[in-house]
Amino acid sequence: MKPFDRTQPHNALPLLPPPVELESKAVLKQVIAARTALAELNGAAKLLPNQGVLIQAIGLQEAKLSSEIENIVTTHDDLFRGFANDGEGASPETKEVLRYQEALWQGHEWVEQGLPLTTRLFEALYQVVKQADDGVRRLPGTRLANPATKEIIYSPPEGETVIRDKLANLEQFINSPSELDPLVRMAVAHYQFEAIHPFPDGNGRVGRILNILQMQSEGLLDVPILYLSRYIIENKGAYYRGLSGVTERGEWEAWVLYLLRGVESMAQVTRERIQAVLALMELAHEQAQGVLPKVAVRGILDVVFRHPYCKVRFLEQAGLGTRQTCTKYLRALVSAGLLREETVWRENYFINDAFFEALSR
């Protein structure tokens, strides 16, 4: 057989489903382990009060790590400060991470509305992540190269129609009823999405968002948090080898196992993170009892545990009182040792160090 030519556009990329038995004994065993870990993660996430907003703060970590794969690096301080200010005044890197987060949430809402995962959604996610107004690639010449050696490792299909046809097939594979386990389907779809490589850039990030959304739409993940990108970063070589293994040698089982292992171990890590935050909230509750009016404790802590970098304005916006009253509340939490007041660039923040630590550790 002729060896695979990495420098030629892979217009022959086969349609899905792959013509092989995907659910080997090893795969099915790993499916069970991953599903169990996901169920435990969902259980922990249910205990979080104030679902959406706190989960956004926890989820920022995934956005940060997924962007780091593309060498978009921001610090946790920048990120949480940027988050508190809707990105205003943030570095370009921080803004890009916040846009990833925004795309993930738009996707989450899309799935919540019961809409299927379609090319239209892929394009919408790409446009948010990259702040672009184009979509599927029209121009030839996209190549994936090893950043160090510049050696070409893969050439995705070319021609808008070719790309759209393959995406239509992918859509169908994702959304039609199937005998395949949904996690196996997610792993297959992720490979296919990356191999189609529909956009000029941001394909890795959009593909990683789609993983989360696929689990959500299959009912395997209630909220869009799972630090899957951390696994990919920590096992980056295997990620790239796994993708080319499928393309060049049809090594589906190794690829599926790789991603399923990631789901299992990151569901555990994410659950531990949530439990750490829950424990902190409980402790904060006790500490706050003595220094805040009883009726206001819950409302105030809800706000404080949305933003590791909290501002007086957030309490005001939550209807907790006037500027003076809200400042008094936050200072009371400072005296109780729960928060630390600090001015950064003329903005006054009440920093929840323990929460910050729990999120960024």
Ligand X SMILES: Nc1ncnc2c1ncn2[C@@H]1O[C@H](COP(=O)(O)OP(=O)(O)OP(=O)(O)O)[C@@H](O)[C@H]1O
Least distance between ligand X and beta carbon 238 (Å): 12
202 binds ligand X (CB under 6 A): yes
Torsion of the alpha carbons at 75, 81, 85 and 89, rounded to the nearest 10:
-60
| C-beta of 198 vs 308, nearer to ligand X | 198
How many angstroms separate the Cα of 260 from the Cα of each of 66, 215, 248, 253, 255? 17, 12, 21, 10, 9
Binders in 142-171 for ligand X, by CB under 6 A: 144, 153-154
347 binds Mg ion (CB under 5 A): no
207 binds ligand X (CB under 6 A): yes
Distance CA 328, CA 325 (A): 5
Distance CA 351, CA 330 (A): 10
| C-beta of 34 vs 97, nearer to ligand X | 97
What is the distance, to the nearest Å, from the Cα of residue 291 to the centroid of all Cα atoms in its chain?
A: 37
Which DSSP category does 4 fall into? P
Find the binder of ligand X among 77, 102, 165, 201 (CB under 6 A): 201
Vertex 26 angle, CA 188 and 248, to 5°: 45
Least distance between ligand X and beta carbon 243 (Å): 4
Distance CA 152, CA 5 (A): 10
47 to 86: interface string for Mg ion, x by CB under 5 A = -----------------------x----------------
96 binds ligand X (CB under 6 A): no
Two structure tokens written together for 334: 């400072």
| C-beta of 40 vs 70, nearer to Mg ion | 70
Which residue, among 106, 94, 107, 102, has the nearest Cα to 67 in the 3D structure?
A: 94
251 binds ligand X (CB under 6 A): no
Find the binder of ligand X among 194, 257, 277, 330 (CB under 6 A): 194
Vertex 169 angle, CA 226 and 167, to 5°: 65
Contact (CB, 8 A) for 129 and 205:
yes
Nearby residues of 26 by Cβ (< 8 Å), 6 or more positions away? 253, 257
Find the binder of Mg ion among 40, 165, 201, 316 (CB under 5 A): 201
Binders in 225-244 for ligand X, by CB under 6 A: 240, 243-244
247 binds ligand X (CB under 6 A): yes
| C-beta of 70 vs 218, nearer to ligand X | 70
291 binds ligand X (CB under 6 A): no
* Contacted entry of Mg ion, ligand X, none for residue 35, CB cut-off 5 to 8 Å set by kind: none
| C-beta of 69 vs 318, nearer to Mg ion | 69
- The site for ligand X (CB under 6 A) is made up of 69-70, 144, 153-154, 194-195, 201-205, 207, 240, 243-244, 247
Q: Which residues bind Mg ion (CB under 5 A)?
A: 70, 201
